[in-house]
A and B are shown apart, each in its own frame.
Chain A
Amino acid sequence: MKTINNELRDKIIFAAQLVSISLIWLLVIGIIFWISNLIYLSVDLKDSPGISIGISLVAIPVFITLASILTYVFVGFHREKKKHLNTDSGN
């Protein structure tokens, strides 16, 4: 009984972690959408689009990198954990 509970709890926590990671990606994608909308606006209104494109060239990669690092860490930890568990069961 208790083991099932534990398993369930682990699953819920893992799901929550997944959700949080995807939320971060959502944020990043949102920001990218927002910025491209603004670029579209500035092009449409002929309102010095160069500046907005320049800013976005810097901003977007930064957000993507940040999200990638988080994902990298998350994935890295969990791959290791699986291995760890596998070796545990092997023992």
Chain B
Amino acid sequence: MPKWAMAIDLDKCTGCGDCMAACKLENNVAIVDAEQAADDRVMLWMDMMTIYEGEYPNIKLKRIPKPCFHCDNPPCIKVCPVHATYKNEEGLVAQIYNRCIGCRYCMAACPYTAKVFNWYEPEWADEFKTCMNPDVSLRMKGVVEKCSFCAHRLQKVKENARADDREISDGEYSPACADSCPAEAIFFGDLENKESKVFKLSNSPRAFRELEDLGTIPKVFYLSEKE
């Protein structure tokens, strides 16, 4: 079974925010209005963390794109009361929107604050409804959602591979953020495939994972030169 993982090269990432926009567009993530935004209810599957280090004027500013980490030992699925979030056999942590009762326990339990909640029924202008991505289902009010590693793309890639009777090649399945990154800082692939770029990067001395000591075993690796 493949084990999908992502590697984000922070040395290359400029923090341009393209991944965030690509993600919102690809996954039909709801856009909240100004009032909701002021209440901190913006829904970002791909978030951007900003960390300042050092004393003025020798400041280092780090911008870190933060998707769901699809942990191998996810704290979120352990607390879900209704099997609405689970880890599938390929290691993707998935949400079942139609089953979620909206208790938000998984959000409280996620150490990475990767999940977002539909506080209201998501709304779009009629015109915008025309250009929704038909591959991704829309969410309803009162359910939790999060980055899916664009699992709908995997579905398509699998179908194509099966039709051609071959294995999925490295780089064939890639989520919108990795696909669109102008700095080519986001890599995606199969950790089980020893030839894949992601496998190599994950073993690089530059690689680290967020909050590793929690034992969540995230499948998103960050690469950064330790200075």
Contact = CB atoms under 8 A, between A and B. Distances in A.
Interface of A: 41, 45, 47-48
A48 B78 CA distance: 9
A47 B82 CA distance: 12
6 contacts: A41-B83, A45-B83, A45-B86, A47-B83, A47-B86, A48-B78
Nearest to A51: B78
Contacts of B83: 41, 45, 47
A47 B83 CA distance: 9
Interface of A, secondary structure class, is: loop
A34 to B, nearest CB: 13
Interface string B58-96: 000000000000000000001000010010000000000
Contacts of B86: 45, 47
Contacts of B78: 48
Contacts of A48: 78
A-B residue pairs, 6 tightest by C-beta: A45-B83, A41-B83, A47-B83, A47-B86, A45-B86, A48-B78
B177 to A, nearest CB: 30
A41 B81 CA distance: 12
Nearest to A42: B83
Which of A41, A45, A47, A48 has the most chain B CB within a 10 Å cutoff? A47
B21 to A, nearest CB: 36
A41 B78 CA distance: 14
Contacts of A45: 83, 86
A48 B83 CA distance: 12
A50 to B, nearest CB: 13
Nearest to B77: A47
Contacts of A41: 83
A10 to B, nearest CB: 46
A84 B83 CA distance: 56
A73 B78 CA distance: 41
A45 B86 CA distance: 10
A40 to B, nearest CB: 13
A64 to B, nearest CB: 24
A19 B123 CA distance: 50
A20 to B, nearest CB: 30
A47 B86 CA distance: 9
A12 to B, nearest CB: 41
B26 to A, nearest CB: 29
A54 to B, nearest CB: 14
A61 to B, nearest CB: 23
Nearest to A45: B83
A41 B99 CA distance: 15
A45 B83 CA distance: 10
A41 B86 CA distance: 13
A47 B89 CA distance: 12
